[in-house]
Every structure is written in structure tokens, then in C-alpha cells.
């Protein structure tokens, strides 16, 4: 307990940065992932191929390597300088977007064919069919896998600690500089993560019940 109370400043900054990373990466991943999923089901072969390639390559690359590139490689390219926090957000978003895309696509597959046929029958275009009829139902159907994706994202933010982002995963190295026992600090970090994950799972069950599609 002492480790937590005496170093509450470290824990608060750490978890605040974790939540900031989680929030921004989550929002961007959701947007990008939905776009990629849309491309993957679009009638144009070039779009489908591009989305499939992106998903296959990024899903088979370790997140550590993605962040490695953004933290250490990107500054060598002489582009706009960005801080590690932004770089980590970009890396996490690009990585998580592929999982969001796969979740959304599996949701699109759960929507009955009749829904799309009915939408087309009343003259809706592909875009209208997708945005007005299919996606709203798909999103509701994929709440459980989507939450797994976001819980994974939350835990993945710790990887950014390996690349000098001062979030929850970095609390250990900061504590050891102050001569605090690493074990106590790490166990507190683990415990707080378990709590946040439980809150997320609780929210998932609530949403699932509330948004269930009656079929």
C-alpha cells in the first residue's frame, strides 16, 4: 500500500497517459477500422484487395515492431516531428484498426441477407444500404468481440512503455529510480488493470443487453 500512496504521482500520470492513449487510439481505430471493413465488402475489387492486404500484413506484425518503427524509425525519415505519445497513438490505431475491421466484417456477415435485399429493393444505393441498414445492425451484433478488441488495446498500451512513453507500463522503471520495490509497484499496476478490465466487461454486458437486435 505504501508503494502506491507514496508514489501516487507516478501512478496517476502513468494511468492518465494510459487512458489518453486508450481513448484516442480507440477512437481512431474505430473510425479507420470501419472504413477498412467497408472497403473489404465493397463491390470494387481494387478496394477489397487493398483492405485485405492491409489487414493481413498488419495483423501478422507484432505490435512491438509497429511501435518500434514509429518510435525509432519514423524520426529518421525527416518528416514532421511528433512526440512519442502521438507516435504511439498512431501505431496503436493502425494496429488495432485491423482487429476492428475484422470484428465489423464478422458483424456484417451476421445481418440477414433479407435486410440488404429489402434495402436494395426500395432503391437504396450500396452506400445507403451499408450505412443506414447494415452497419447499425452489425455494430450491435459485434459488441462482445469489439469489447475484446478494446480490452486488448487497453492492455497493449503498456507496450508503449518500451519506447519511452510514460504510461502505466513505465511505472516500474520510474519506481526503481526512486528505490522502490519493483514487485509491489508491478502488482499494483496489474491490480488496477484488472479493475479497469472488469469495468469494461461490465459495460459490455450492459450494452449487450440494451442493444440486442431482436430477431
Partner 1 sequence: MSSVLFDAPGPKARARYRILGVVTALVIIAIVGFIVLRFAQSGQFDAKKWQLFTFPLVQQTIVQSVGATLSAFATAAVFSLVLGVVLAFGRLSDRKWISMPCYGFTELFRAVPLLILMMIFYYGLPQLGVQGITPFTAVVAGLVLYNGSVLAEVFRAGIESLPRGQSEAGYAIGLPKSAVMTNILLPQAVRSMLPVIISQLVVILKDTALGFIVTYNEILFQAKYFGSQAQYGSPIIPSAIIAGVLYVGMCLILAGIAKWLESRMRRNVKVVKVARSEIVAAEG
Q: What is the rounded CA–CA span in Å between residue 41 and residue 47? A: 9
Q: How far is the CB of 3 from partner 1 (least distance, A)?
A: 12
Site string for partner 1, 81-120 (x = CB under 8 A): ------------------x---x--x-xxx--x--xx--x
Q: What is the rounded CA–CA span in Å between residue 209 and residue 25? A: 26
Cell numbers standing for residue 18:
494510459
Q: Which of 2, 60 has the CB closer to partner 1? A: 60
Cα R_g (the chain), whole angstroms: 20
Q: Are 99 and 32 in contact (CB under 8 A)?
A: no
Q: How far is the CB of 215 from partner 1 (least distance, A)?
A: 15
Q: How far is the CB of 69 from partner 1 (least distance, A)?
A: 5
Judged by CB under 8 A, does residue 130 bind partner 1? Answer: yes
Q: Buried b / exposed e across 160-199, counting CB within 10 Å, b at 16+?
A: bbebebbbbbbbbebbeeeebeeeebeebbeebbeebeee
Judged by CB under 8 A, does residue 44 bind partner 1? Answer: yes
Q: At what angle do helices 8-40 and 84-110 cross, to 10 degrees?
A: 40
Q: How many residues bind partner 1 (CB under 8 A)?
A: 66
Binding site for partner 1 (CB under 8 A): 41, 43-48, 50, 56-57, 59-65, 68-69, 72-73, 76-79, 99, 103, 106, 108-110, 113, 116-117, 120, 126, 129-130, 134, 142, 144-145, 148-149, 151-152, 155-156, 158-159, 161-162, 169, 172, 176, 181-183, 186-187, 189-190, 193-194, 197-198
Amino acid at each position: 500500500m505504501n508503494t502506491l500512496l507514496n508514489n501516487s504521482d507516478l501512478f496517476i500520470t502513468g494511468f492518465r497517459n494510459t487512458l489518453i492513449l486508450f481513448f484516442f487510439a480507440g477512437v481512431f481505430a474505430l473510425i479507420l477500422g470501419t472504413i477498412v471493413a467497408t472497403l473489404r465488402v465493397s463491390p470494387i475489387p481494387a478496394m477489397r484487395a487493398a483492405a485485405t492486404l492491409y489487414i493481413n500484413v498488419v495483423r501478422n506484425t507484432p505490435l512491438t515492431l509497429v511501435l518500434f518503427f514509429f518510435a525509432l524509425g519514423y524520426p529518421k525519415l525527416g518528416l514532421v516531428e511528433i512526440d512519442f505519445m502521438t507516435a504511439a497513438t498512431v501505431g496503436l490505431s493502425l494496429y488495432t484498426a485491423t482487429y476492428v475491421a475484422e470484428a465489423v466484417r464478422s458483424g456484417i456477415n451476421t445481418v440477414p441477407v433479407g435486410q440488404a435485399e429489402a434495402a436494395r429493393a426500395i432503391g437504396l444505393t450500396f452506400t445507403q444500404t451499408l450505412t443506414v441498414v447494415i452497419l447499425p445492425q452489425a455494430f450491435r451484433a459485434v459488441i462482445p468481440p469489439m469489447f475484446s478488441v478494446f480490452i486488448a488495446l487497453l492492455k497493449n498500451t503498456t507496450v508503449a512503455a518500451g519506447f519511452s512513453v510514460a504510461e502505466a507500463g513505465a511505472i516500474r522503471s520510474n519506481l526503481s529510480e526512486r528505490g522502490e520495490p519493483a514487485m509491489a509497484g508491478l502488482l499494483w499496476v496489474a491490480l488496477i488493470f484488472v479493475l479497469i478490465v472488469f469495468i469494461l466487461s461490465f459495460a459490455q454486458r450492459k450494452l449487450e443487453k440494451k442493444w440486442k437486435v431482436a430477431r
